[in-house]
Structure 1
Amino acid sequence: MTPTLSFRRFSLPLESPLETAHGRIEQREGFLVKLTDGDAVGYGEATPLPGWTESLEACERGLEQARAVLSTEGTSRAIDTVDDRVAARHGVTLAVADLRSARDATPLYQYLGGDALVGRVPVNATISDGTPGETAEAVETAVSRGFDCCKLKVGVRPVETDIERVQQARAAAGPEVELRADANGAWTIEEAESAIEGFADYGVSILEQPLPAGALEGHAALRGRGVGIGLDEGLLEHGVDAICEAGAADAIVLKPMALGGLDIAQQISAWLRELEVTPIVTTTIDAVVARTGAVHLAAAIPDLPASGLATGELLAEDLGPDPVLFESGSAVVPQAKGLGVSGLWSE
């Protein structure tokens, strides 16, 4: 029997609008993907994000083409059809992996090659922009919930204020909690240098994307000053080889939706480890299917540091129940066969 691909569009409102370099985001729009082969079913998610992936319309066209090719030429050719549309490829490949791992009666992370049993993966708390007092309060709340890594959004306020926010965050967190910061490319080289000098005093471990994505040499120049440099947007613009040849990063953030799927993110993570660069997995404010896939990916990567997987709270609605529990600063990895998601599709 030939597998069949179905998909439907969704729109999920955010709890609060999110301001990005590419505009204001008030909802996440994408496609829930379903692959059926006899009595076996696999789910995927294709949720484009402006500035990171193809457009919603291009994603839909890609899924339509994959559906047509799948019916005549099979799964591999269907995936090839969406190679240049990363969100669509993510949706198709995740559905294939879910179906196959469910058929094998194994959790997805084991299908991806993970250890026999991974119960938990560490996650970071994301601390939104706010006043120094609001930042300290948010960090205190996160630590009380068991998080031992907090990532602060910086770059919206003056550098001096962000340094004060980090100071207050450290006071609230105590000496043992890891602090990171993410500037989303907001700073000039001079601003980044000032921020790093101040952040180093309070033990910030990683500063993500302090400069615009194009500034590879600038990021290289910021390394070795007491705070590790992480690249996020820079990965898509330059690729691993260019980043590592320039010596521009201590860590690289992997977003499966923006890279084209769990398989590609996993390949890059292994490559980074060989190059002695730390991989970190995060979502792109995805719905439950893609978020759960990212948790399985994290479970399949040995010794992964705390990653940005606790993002479901950013959505006011979701596609279905979340099978991932978050407790004591960790994501509890689903052990059901496949992804472990259910209650998603109404015919």
Structure 2
Amino acid sequence: MPTVALHHETVRLKTPLVTAFGDVRERDLLLFELTGADGVTGRGECAPLTAYDGVPLEVAVEALAVYASILQGFDDDTPGMRMLDACRDAADIPVALAAVDLALWDRAGRRAGRSVASLITDDALDAVPVNATIGAHDRAGAATAAAAARDAGYGCIKLKVGVGDDAGRVAAVRAAAGPEMLLRLDANGAWDVEQAVATIDALSPAGLELVEEPVHGVEGLRAVRERVAVRIAMDETAEDIGALIAGGADAVCLKISRCGGISGLLAQAALVQQGGAEVYLASTFDGPLGIAAAVHVAAALRVQAACGLATLEHLDLDVPPELAVRAGSIRVPTGGGLLGEL
């Protein structure tokens, strides 16, 4: 009979991140540990961000308590998907289900002495390209951050927009980063269709890789996409599975927490690819286990676009060396489970 432990940690951001959906100053990380009768422990993580995913911390904690009681009724030989489905039937809270899913994958990898990426496919990438993220700095601050990203070897910068002085900050980032840097904008649904079209047209001379979630909703995204030359990516709207194949975007940003873990993200990635759109991954400023899970999945899917996974450096915690960003990429942890611990 498995045993379950839950630990709560609040981690502050070194500098608040200002976005169109609100300021992010700290992150609540719920560590979920599942230990089998064989003594092997799998670890998962729940990182609710209420302003983004609408799930309050107390709701996530309550769901994890329900899951713990359910999981303790199974044995070590129960298939992981059966255990996950039982938890989902009791409380369908994706950000909380992600903790269970990650723990099951981590435990499976540790038992097999293999990385999670290698459990998914035999042809995973060795490293995943990642982007630097710049929040709502003023022009000088944005330029400084862009120059630092350039010097650190990043090939792509994501700049939060829809928060004021977009034109000035985009120009400052482009000037500091240089002409070769890919520049991605993320509006977090700040605009309506007309605002999005006008703003994207005005900013496009800076050379944009894509604009992520300029508006919310698949119809709005489709309307913007039809009227601008820049590629449009879907993020928050991707919560609606039907929207994934509705032709509303050129690319879709998927996140471990919103997909309910690795298993859910793999399923949604298949839908995205079925619709002909590109897949890339990002975090909601998750902790180390959430980032590790996303790195394994991105590697298994052989994602070529830069992923928004270089976010641990924004948190006031020690970054595991396995997840350090080097020359704009994160190497896939080897060994057993999510972080290569045998």
TM-score, normalised relative to structure 2:
0.90
SS of aligned partner of 2:316? coil
CA contact (8 A) 1:107 1:338 kept: yes
CA contact (8 A) 2:182 2:209 kept: yes
Q: Map 1:174-253; keep pairs closer than 5 Å.
A: 174-211=178-215, 213-214=216-217, 216-224=218-226, 225-236=228-239, 238-239=240-241, 241-245=242-246, 247-253=247-253
| Other-structure match for 1:337 | 336
Note the alpha carbon deviations across 1:257-277, whole angstroms, 9 max, x for none: 111001111221122122210
| Other-structure match for 1:27 | 26
- Give ranges in structure 2 of 5+ residues lacking alignment: none
CA contact (8 A) 1:42 1:100 kept: yes
| Other-structure match for 1:283 | 283
> Once the 2 structures are TM-superposed, how far is the Cα of residue 85 of structure 1 from its aligned partner?
1.0
| Other-structure match for 2:11 | 12
SS of aligned partner of 2:98? helix
Distance 2:296 2:146 in 1: 26
Distance 1:73 1:143 in 2: 50
CA contact (8 A) 1:289 1:341 kept: no
| Other-structure match for 1:120 | 127
2:175 pairs with 1:167? no
Note the alpha carbon deviations across 1:146-173, whole angstroms, 9 max, x for none: 001111111111xxx3123223322222
| Other-structure match for 1:148 | 155
CA contact (8 A) 1:281 1:298 kept: yes
Distance 1:321 1:147 in 2: 19
Distance 2:98 2:54 in 1: 11
Note the alpha carbon deviations across 1:14-59, whole angstroms, 9 max, x for none: 2123345555433211311111121311111111110415322222
> Once the 2 structures are TM-superposed, how far is the Cα of residue 140 of structure 1 from its aligned partner?
1.5
2:108 pairs with 1:100? yes
AA of the residue aligned to 2:135: S
2:136 pairs with 1:133? no
C-alpha change, 1:288 and 1:322, in structure 2 (3 Å) is farther
> Once the 2 structures are TM-superposed, how far is the Cα of residue 223 of structure 1 from its aligned partner?
1.3
| Other-structure match for 1:70 | 71
- Count of residue pairs the alignment pairs up: 332
RMSD across aligned positions (CA): 2.1
AA of the residue aligned to 2:71: L
CA contact (8 A) 1:53 1:85 kept: no
> Once the 2 structures are TM-superposed, how far is the Cα of residue 218 of structure 1 from its aligned partner?
2.3
| Other-structure match for 1:345 | none
Q: Map 1:315-326; keep pairs closer than 5 Å.
A: 315-317=315-317, 321-326=320-325
> Once the 2 structures are TM-superposed, how far is the Cα of residue 334 of structure 1 from its aligned partner?
1.0
> Once the 2 structures are TM-superposed, how far is the Cα of residue 134 of structure 1 from its aligned partner?
2.6
Distance 1:26 1:124 in 2: 21
C-alpha change, 1:76 and 1:5, in structure 2 (3 Å) is farther
Distance 1:148 1:312 in 2: 18
2:306 pairs with 1:312? no
CA contact (8 A) 2:97 2:261 kept: yes
C-alpha change, 1:31 and 1:296, in structure 2 (3 Å) is same
Distance 1:250 1:273 in 2: 10
SS of aligned partner of 1:221? helix
2:93 pairs with 1:85? yes
CA contact (8 A) 2:17 2:136 kept: no
Q: Which consecutive segments of 4 or more residues in structure 1 shift more than 6 A?
A: none
C-alpha change, 1:323 and 1:243, in structure 2 (3 Å) is closer
- Give ranges in structure 1 of 5+ residues lacking alignment: 343-347
AA of the residue aligned to 1:120: A
CA contact (8 A) 1:70 1:77 kept: no
C-alpha change, 1:163 and 1:23, in structure 2 (3 Å) is closer
Distance 2:121 2:53 in 1: 27
> Once the 2 structures are TM-superposed, how far is the Cα of residue 282 of structure 1 from its aligned partner?
0.5
AA of the residue aligned to 1:201: P
SS of aligned partner of 2:14? strand
AA of the residue aligned to 1:102: R
SS of aligned partner of 1:192? helix
CA contact (8 A) 1:66 1:78 kept: no
TM-score, normalised relative to structure 1:
0.89
Note the alpha carbon deviations across 1:265-321, whole angstroms, 9 max, x for none: 122112212221011101111111111111111111124310000000121135x73
| Other-structure match for 2:57 | 56
